[in-house]
């Protein structure tokens, strides 16, 4: 077990520093690059604080869909292959639910302000 602060806390602290101390003093081009860097640090903070739980949940759904154990990346690749081959499709029980859950978990990290994502989580 590593000591605190967590990577998420550190990334957020760097993002805050850039926002408060750097951004107001930068010219257009550097301000743009710095905003991108802040967004990336915020993404890191979101991902590191949720990934263990979402990976485990995704893996459990894949085991149920594919009916065998395995590592997440291998199970995901197998699902992709079976969809490509037409062996599994939207009529397969649980497939649509799995794709939706996995995609919403990605958006929560990648782009939580994306309008489609906001609309879908408001639906819940």
Contacts with another protein by CB under 8 A lie at 33, 36-37, 39-40, 43, 73, 76-77, 79-81, 83-84, 86, 89-90, 96, 99-100, 102-104, 106-107, 110-111, 114-117, 119-120, 123
Nearer to another protein, 20 or 29 (CB): 29
CA distance 19 to 22: 6
Q: How far is the CB of 2 from another protein (least distance, A)?
A: 25
DSSP 61-75: HHHHHHSS---HHHH
- CB proximity list for 22: less than 8 A, separation 6 or greater: 34
- 70 half-sphere exposure, CB direction, 13 A CA radius: 17
Q: How far is the CB of 87 from another protein (least distance, A)?
A: 11
- CB proximity list for 44: less than 8 A, separation 6 or greater: 7, 8, 11
Q: How far is the CB of 82 from another protein (least distance, A)?
A: 9
Q: How far is the CB of 21 from another protein (least distance, A)?
A: 19
Nearer to another protein, 19 or 106 (CB): 106
Closest CA to 49 of 89, 92, 12, 98: 12
Nearer to another protein, 1 or 31 (CB): 31
Nearer to another protein, 10 or 106 (CB): 106
């Amino acid at each position: 077990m590593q000591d605190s602060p967590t990577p998420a806390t550190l990334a957020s602290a760097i993002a805050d520093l850039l926002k408060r101390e750097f951004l107001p003093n930068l010219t257009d081009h550097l301000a743009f690059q710095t905003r991108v860097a802040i967004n990336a640090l915020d993404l890191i903070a979101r991902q590191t604080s949720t990934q263990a739980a979402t990976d485990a949940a995704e893996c459990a759904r894949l085991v149920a869909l594919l009916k065998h154990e395995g590592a997440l990346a291998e199970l995901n690749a197998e699902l992709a292959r079976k969809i490509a081959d037409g062996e599994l499709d939207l009529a397969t029980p649980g497939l649509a639910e799995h794709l939706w859950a996995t995609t919403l978990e990605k958006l929560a990290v990648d782009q939580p302000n994306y309008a489609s994502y906001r609309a879908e989580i408001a639906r819940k």
